[in-house]
Structure 1
């Protein structure tokens, strides 16, 4: 089991253009949306598009090893709660291009958008972080910092100082993400004109003061940059939602009390099984937000 967790951690960081660090620890457990709920819409079809924050990487209940997609991610919890037929093509490492026109080799033979058909009733979208190397940058920084300060008894595999770290995105980069999300929504509507379309943004890794903790091995400057990049991503997603008129589920707002340094984190820190990615509590938290939005409770 320890080897499996280490391998999965390394794979997750590799998918975001990183090598990972492995420490075998127990996976945290948190409540899930009631999967035994009576089916609300047994004949309706739901397609989930997005990156790792939708795929929900972890070591248990993997449904797709290439994409590190799990059976307890927020799309699966939504489908179970509403009794919908789910096609989940979310994939760790995906960019907006992988949804629109570029297959995510070697994990997918077709762009994610091809899963959306005329009889689709619901589409959720969580995307944009990898276009900006949001988590890839943070992972590279943490990996380099841990490699240079690791003490005896700490097991870190693959981390090293001097790794290439992407520069901070520009205004043009954020504008490109905004436009790409607008294009995705337009394409979804073209393919499934009767579908409800929901944009789900990313929960925050750090609070707005860029406070770190033992689980977040970043310098003050790196933490501040992380918050700037995150805010730029959230703002681009919000602008795209406003431009297209789709529902925006703000995991960014609800997750502010559940950063990686909080007592009930929605995201892991730099730790297995999925560094800087949703915990079980986070997957359930986002699922509940989407379910509330679908009921109109926003």
Structure 2
């Protein structure tokens, strides 16, 4: 089931005060579980909770922001930095039950070798970078669909009544933007294209399982690296793990509105 957006609820409440209690109950009755990788845990946005340890779950991550705004009856946040699909099935699905109403997840980027692609492109030649991107795209064709099928099937088995929202990944770069050093626009375009390719494959798998896919590329348009108003870290030598991850502004301005539109 899909839940009414805050805008719709506001309109209902404005039309009749008698609806207030029922509308509030609809939102507060939601049991929400947030799964996934670093884009869901909030790496790059800071304010990591001590209990999450190396998973780096942030109080500024979109799942926590959604929970703060909607006051669900229960909220379990198990997304973890560095997670691949098998980590989700092995370590994150514990809170899911037949009572779970809403599940969000971003996953697949680490399976496809996101970190290695970026390391290769930053440190090695353009041709080596482009070859590594081609290898990643091949993995998305040959292997990732099966891995996504496995994790999506596991989610549905444990949470048969949940509305599941799968979030994608942003394009990293504004082409022809303000960056005057670093990667060539040819490489930046190839990296953006790889993100689109990953999103398309993920969206198809999500649709085949009856899940909603949240494409965040439009939300991040104008806020890519080299845009002058970036919502994404560029290469961060001081905290390498936060490189190419959203700032808090990317969580609140990019990811949260997309989840709100699909919840």
Q: Is the TM value for this pair above 0.5?
A: yes
Is contact 1:201–1:251 with CA below 8 Å preserved after alignment? yes
Which residue of 1 is the match for residue 248 of structure 2? 280
Task: State TM-score, norm by structure 1.
Answer: 0.68
Is contact 2:45–2:60 with CA below 8 Å preserved after alignment? no
Across the two proteins, how many residue pairs are aligned to each other?
Answer: 231
1:197-218 Cα distance to aligned partner (Å, 9 max, x none): 11111111124xx546538732
SS at match of 1:128: coil
| Aligned alpha-carbon RMSD (Å) | 3.0
Q: Following superposition of structure 1 onto structure 2, how do residues 37-116 of structure 1 map, counting pairs within 5 Å?
A: 41-58=27-44, 60-63=46-49, 64-84=52-72, 85-101=74-90, 111-116=91-96
Is contact 2:137–2:198 with CA below 8 Å preserved after alignment? no
Which residue of 2 is the match for residue 255 of structure 1? 220
CA distance in 1, matches of 2:45, 2:198: 27
- Pair 79,40 (structure 1): closer, same or farther in 2 beyond 3 Å: farther
Which residue of 2 is the match for residue 21 of structure 1? none
SS at match of 2:221: helix
1:48-83 Cα distance to aligned partner (Å, 9 max, x none): 111111111147421123112211101101111111
Which residue of 1 is the match for residue 13 of structure 2? none
Which residue of 2 is the match for residue 133 of structure 1? 113
SS at match of 2:154: helix
Structure 2: state its 5+ residue gaps. Answer: 1-5, 11-23
Is contact 1:259–1:267 with CA below 8 Å preserved after alignment? yes
Larger helix proportion of the pair = 2
Structure 1: state its 5+ residue gaps. Answer: 1-32, 102-110, 149-161
Task: State TM-score, norm by structure 2.
Answer: 0.76
